[in-house]
Amino acid sequence: MLDNSHECFLPPSTNCKVWRYTDFTKLLSLLETRQLYFPRADQFEDPYEGTLSRAAIALMKDPKLNGGLPQSAVDQLLEHMDVTRREMFISCWFANEHESAAMWKLYLQSSEGVAIRSDHDALCAALAASSLKVRTSMVSYIDYDRTPIPYGNLFFPFVHKRISFAHESELRAIIWSKEDINTSLISPEMVSVLVDVIPQDLIKAVHVSPTAPVWFGKLVEKVLSRYGLMCPVERSSLYDRPSY
């Protein structure tokens, strides 16, 4: 089920395109399993993932500014951050009307990669059918040295990232394993969660890497057809020579 009513989450105000830049095997996995992959937050490379900003921690520790929060509560909250990172499962999407040269370079292991294009409404519809409670939000990019992340709710650190990552224009779908509806479905040992989806409804188009060989694009077309997807397959023209 989908619930975007929470105060911490800022879904797009209007429908927008969302993209997943990935290698061919992950596209094949999505088609074969009909499941969307949500890795646990502590599996991400960013060491700041799910942490409060330095400015927020400084504010929390200042008895004149923290609203009377006792030191014991501050210590407990900081200690719990690593625990919370093991309770959050996140699917990351690039939200933009156009493809991104940076995303092609960052998220593909070889030239034989694809960008799965959907849109926010289709993603929400897919997640709404799940038995898990899922929420979506755009990520806010801030200066961690100067801008406090609100510390009144455990979700806030997971919808903020350092400003150095602003090029990702990230939309996140987030599952908290300790949500009442989720506790019986997600065990503490799990490092990822798989959410059932219907690829034909979720995938609007598949874009082939601008550096991929022609045969690879034809292979993508055949594989999509075999799995019953009639969506367009578009070779990225990002690096085509200009013609005037």
Pairing of strands 17-23, 113-119: antiparallel
Rounded-to-integer distance, Cα 132 and Cα 166, Å: 29
Pick the closest to residue 136 from 110, 159, 108, 104 (CA basis).
159
Rounded-to-integer distance, Cα 81 and Cα 156, Å: 11
Tell me 129's DSSP state. T
pLDDT (tens digit per residue) in 88-123: 999 999 999 999 988 988 887 778 899 999 999 999
Rounded-to-integer distance, Cα 80 and Cα 42, Å: 13
pLDDT (tens digit per residue) in 64-91: 766 767 777 778 778 888 899 999 999 9
Comparing 55-64, 131-140, 178-187, 207-216, the range with the smallest average pLDDT is 55-64
pTM of the model: 0.91
